[in-house]
Structure 1
Amino acid sequence: MPSTYITKAGQTVDLVCLDFYGRTRSTTEIVLDANPGVAALDPILPIGTVLVMPDIDIRPAARELVKLWE
């Protein structure tokens, strides 16, 4: 179930993702998609902007093993 986040002074969407998810990689675009119109705001979001924070699997993706010799 998605959560909500209320922005603080000086926050951008990527800083919100860092604060909420603990990372920005693969989260910023998802949050922007879940909050239509937020990208049209100033890069520094107004204080008190309510953002929908979707459930995102925050485990790191497994890296593919590269074999140098077979």
Structure 2
Amino acid sequence: MDGSTDISGSEQESLYVRLPTDGQIEERFLTIGSPVSTCSTDLFNFVNETFDKLEIPKEKNLLVWDPIGRPT
């Protein structure tokens, strides 16, 4: 996830996932959108809502959240 503020002052978040494919890490773009705010709860909800819209089953996947961007 990476965010920036657009010209109107709205926060825009780009959401990506990284997954292993044939021994390589592949990064895929999921969406860009405006969460309610940039507090951790609203960002978490933005991710969950995106997974729901794209029908990505969360219970079968491991979601690692690191707001600082460190490798986990």
TM-score range normalised by the length of the shorter chain: under 0.3
- Relative to the length of structure 2, the TM-score reads 0.27
- Relative to the length of structure 1, the TM-score reads 0.28
Which structure's CA Rg is the greater one?
Answer: 1
